[in-house]
Structure formats: C-alpha cells, structure tokens
A and B are shown apart, each in its own frame.
Chain A
C-alpha cells in the first residue's frame, strides 16, 4: 500500500495526464461515422508511433561503446520510424480518395 501512495506522489502529474487522456480519447472518437473507421484506425496507428521518441532517448542516453544498446536502439528507431512514416502516408492515401471530385 505504501508503495502505491509513494508511486502516486512521485508520478502525480503523469497519473493526471493518463486519466484525462483516457477521457479525451473517448470523447474525440465518439462521433466518428463508420465510413471513417479505417482511416481513423490507421491515423491512430501512426500516432502511437510516438514510441520512436523513447527509442531515440534510449540511444541518446547510451554510450556509443555499448554495442547492445546501440544495436537494439538502432533497430527500435528504424521500426518506430517505419510505424510513423508508413502510418501517416497510408492514412493520407486513404483520405486523398475521399476528396470531392469535380464533375
């Protein structure tokens, strides 16, 4: 129990962000028409690519002599970037086709 209280004290701001973001996420998605479910899923998929920031921090915090950290970090940044770039590009491609066509 003490650990939980301690955890909350140390990470107060983080816990606030988590709780508020849960509600924001639900509210933001609430009224989406079925037509846009796939692009929305794809867009959300690109956004969680933000995990690449963590991979970059891993590399920035490691010594360049730490080959394991460098190697795994490199692969992680590569995969995360693919998630971000691929995710946004494929979403854009989907949405491009929803443009109103001029007759």
Chain B
C-alpha cells in the first residue's frame, strides 16, 4: 500500500514542478509558481523518508534529519542575506551543491552495483556530469564575485579540453566494460571530472558566465535524472529532465539575446586580441563632458527621458538613487521610463530584479523591442553604466565582434548622456563610437555619486 502512495506523491510533485515552471514564465503567477514547486519538493522529500519500505535504524533517521536541518538553515540564511547584486553567483553556488550531491551519490552507489554494468554506466554518467557541474559552478562563482578576474587559458586549451572530455568518457567506458570492482578507478574518474569542470569554465570570460551557469544548471538537472534512472525514481527523473531540457533552451535563448552562438561561448571566439585592437584604433575623436548641474537643467526642461541601466549601475548600488531621480522628474511632469536590454546586468532579467528592489514600477520597465521605436521621440537618454548594449557598431560595423547583436537604438534620441567611470571599453573590450558623437555628452564618475549630485541639483532648481 505504501508503495502506491509514494508513487502518487511523486506524480503530484512532478506536476507541481511542471506547473511551477509554467507559472514562473508569467510575472503575475511567478511567485505562486515557485511556492507550488517548493511544496511539491517538500512532499517528495518527506514521502521518500517516511514511506520507505523496510526497517530503518534510528541513527539513519537522525543523520538524515540532521543533514536536512543543517542544509535548510545554511541555505535559508545565505539566500536571505545575499545582496541582490550578488545573486547570480549565489545561483551558481547552489547549482554546484546540487552537482556535488549527484556526484556523491555515484561514489556511494558504485560498489553496491558493481555486478550490474548498466547501472554502473548510469552511475558513472551521473557522477561525471555532477562533478563537472560542481567544479564548473565553483569557478563560475569565483569569477562572478571577482576572486578570479581573468580568463585563464592554457595553451591549445580547446584541444586539451576536448581531449580530456573524450578521455573521461573512454575511461568511464573502460570501467563499465572491464567490470572492475576497484574503487581506485572510480576515484580517479571522479577527480578527472572535477578537473575537467575547472578547465571547462576557466577560459570563458566573465561576460559569458550567465550562459555558463545556465548550461551547468541543465547539467545538474541531467545528473539528477541519471539518479532517477538508477533508482527507478520518477520524481528525480521528471524534475531532472525538466530542468535539463528547459535549462538548455534557456541557455540558447540567452545566447540568442547576445547574438553569441553557444559554440563561441564555450570555445571562445570573443575578446581575441586581434579583433578588439582592430576596432579600437578605428574610432578616435573628442568626447564632450557634462556636469551634474548642467544636466539637471537639461533634464528639468525635457518632456520625455529614457534611462538605460547597465551593470555599472548594479556595481555602484545606484538602483535606489535612480528611483529617486525618476520620482523627482515625474513630479516635474517629465515622462520617465527604463529601457532594458535583454542581457543588461549579468544575467537576463537581472536589471529588472535590481530595479524592482528599489520599487520601480513593473510597467516602467520596457523591453528592447517595445522601446526601440520610442527613442526618436525622446528628448534625453541617460545611459548608466551600460556600454556594449548601446554600441551602434553592432548594427553598422561588420568587423566588430558584437556585430549583429540587437542593441538599444539610443542614437535616435535628441540627446544622449552616458554615465561611466572612465573611458575604458566595455566587457566586449571594444570602443564605442556613440561616445564621440555630437549629441552625446559624458557624465564621468561613480554612478551612485554623480546621480546623488544630480538629484541634489534638481531639488535646488525648484
């Protein structure tokens, strides 16, 4: 009887995962969708523990609940305390934990299943993918939080990585085929997979990390699914495959938004020195500078202002002051909205999350396709800490590495004001001709500092 109940619980949990993901794709239902999936997860976990057949030692129950309690407390506190700007790396970290969990399951289950080659194959596949996802996520986490700044590239790293990957699978095949009982092979394979995860992510630049995290996310889903296969456990299978396929699609959608084929992200055609130098020498000229007081006057007499936020805004923690700026301008009868590029920030949708944190209205956040026709009727565009997403070279210069990437067409507005800390090039490492145009003025300085000055100036104008 118990066995039937657990299957019904797993079925319900699988349905909550599907509905949860579905509801997550709509702003109105997203939050409930997340809670629904969480409820399904709790049911699946409790069902697994309490409806298990056979006598279980109390010590084991104690250990399981101890581990769950510890994981809950640590996970909860970390998630509650993290600043919203640090969120992408946290997702990466949690993803790594899931991968490690899958890898450890493989380590334990190997010697229970040595006589069943099919199971060994499933175990090794789950373990390899889980380990790669774990070590890769840790590197992605270190890159996003700035511990690891530069892309490290071993000589011929593409060939090297591919060789290691082939080697991993060959080794796994050998273990299955030889029906070895030796755990030395198992641990060697485990460490080799960990090293591969590091080498896989380390050459990839920081700008591509969201794509990598999304990819590793679907890897962990796959690793969970292999676990489901091993145990004949439906909920692990449905949850794992669901995330695996949805995650892969999400990865491709992100790549499309950046106009970067996944192949280029992984095998790195970006930021190669020859292309960036060629374009850098291409644009020269003088830039116009503007100060907060002049800009305040200009803004005060505008009818319509669009704000283009980028990662620089997030770094400077300027999301609250920009809301204040919006408020004060609205009070003066200026129409203000935000133009959000799909990959603004460090993850698609990251900028929306940050602005929502400072109470910016959801309706004021306009997506690229909707806002592009509006630039020609806009008096002033304020670009805060964004660069590549407003670079006209993406449309006009076929030799540019970002050529073909959809951009916000700010150059159609009457005036463009760009806030940057310096004239340094953006993530793509290329110069932006927009900065040298006649209608463009530069507002140099830390976003939070200069925007605060701007708000002060606006208040003084009253």
Contacts and interface: CB of A to CB of B under 8 A. Distances in A.
A7 to B, nearest CB: 6
Contacts of B229: 11, 14
Contacts of A22: 241, 244-245
Nearest to A10: B118
A99 B385 CA distance: 26
Interface in B89-112: 90-91, 94-95, 97-98, 100-102, 104-105, 107-109, 112
Given A39-B349, A47-B242, A51-B105, A85 B35 contact: no
Contacts of B44: 50, 53
A88 B31 CA distance: 10
Contacts of A58: 105, 108-109
B75 A94 contact: no
A56 B49 contact: yes
Interface in B46-61: 48-49, 52, 56-57, 59-60
A85 B74 CA distance: 9
A68 B353 CA distance: 43
With most chain A CB atoms within 10 A of its CB, the pick from B27, B64, B71, B356 is B71
Interface string B392-409: 000000000000000000
Given A36-B349, A41-B91, A53 B108 contact: no
B174 to A, nearest CB: 16
A90 B25 contact: no
A82 B353 contact: no
Contact of B246 (A29, A62, A94): A29
Interface string B17-51: 11011101111001101110110010011001100
Given A34-B349, A38-B349, A90-B87, A48 B224 contact: yes
Interface residues of A, number: 83
Given A51-B240, A64-B59, A37 B94 contact: no
Interface in A10-66: 10-11, 14, 17-18, 21-26, 28-64
Given A59-B64, A72-B104, A94-B87, A77 B71 contact: yes
B35 A92 contact: yes
Given A39-B349, A77-B68, A79-B104, A34 B342 contact: yes
B60 A34 contact: no
Given A33-B27, A85-B72, A61 B112 contact: yes
B20 A35 contact: no
A43 B101 contact: no
Given A51-B101, A82-B75, A43 B356 contact: no
Q: At the interface, is chain B mostly helix, strand, loop or mixed?
A: helix
A47 B75 contact: no
B268 interface: no
A44 B71 contact: no
Contacts of A24: 18, 242, 245
Nearest to B241: A21
A77 B75 CA distance: 12
A28 B22 contact: yes
A81 B235 contact: no
A57 B49 CA distance: 8
A61 B111 CA distance: 13
Contact of B349 (A35, A55, A88): A35
Contact of A45 (B74, B98, B223, B231): B98
A35 B369 CA distance: 13
With most chain B CB atoms within 10 A of its CB, the pick from A21, A50, A54, A77 is A50
Contacts of B79: 85-87, 89-90, 93
Interface of A: 3, 7, 10-11, 14, 17-18, 21-26, 28-64, 68-70, 72-101
In the A-B complex, the 9 residue pairs with the smallest Cβ-Cβ separation, listed nearest first, are: A81-B71, A25-B245, A86-B75, A37-B348, A85-B75, A50-B239, A97-B356, A77-B67, A32-B25
Interface of B: 13, 17-18, 20-22, 24-27, 30-31, 33-35, 37-38, 41, 44-45, 48-49, 52, 56-57, 59-60, 63-64, 66-68, 70-72, 74-76, 78-80, 82, 84, 87-88, 90-91, 94-95, 97-98, 100-102, 104-105, 107-109, 112, 118, 130, 213-214, 217, 220-221, 223-225, 227-247, 249-250, 253-254, 257, 340, 342, 347-350, 352-353, 356-357, 359, 361-362, 365, 367-368
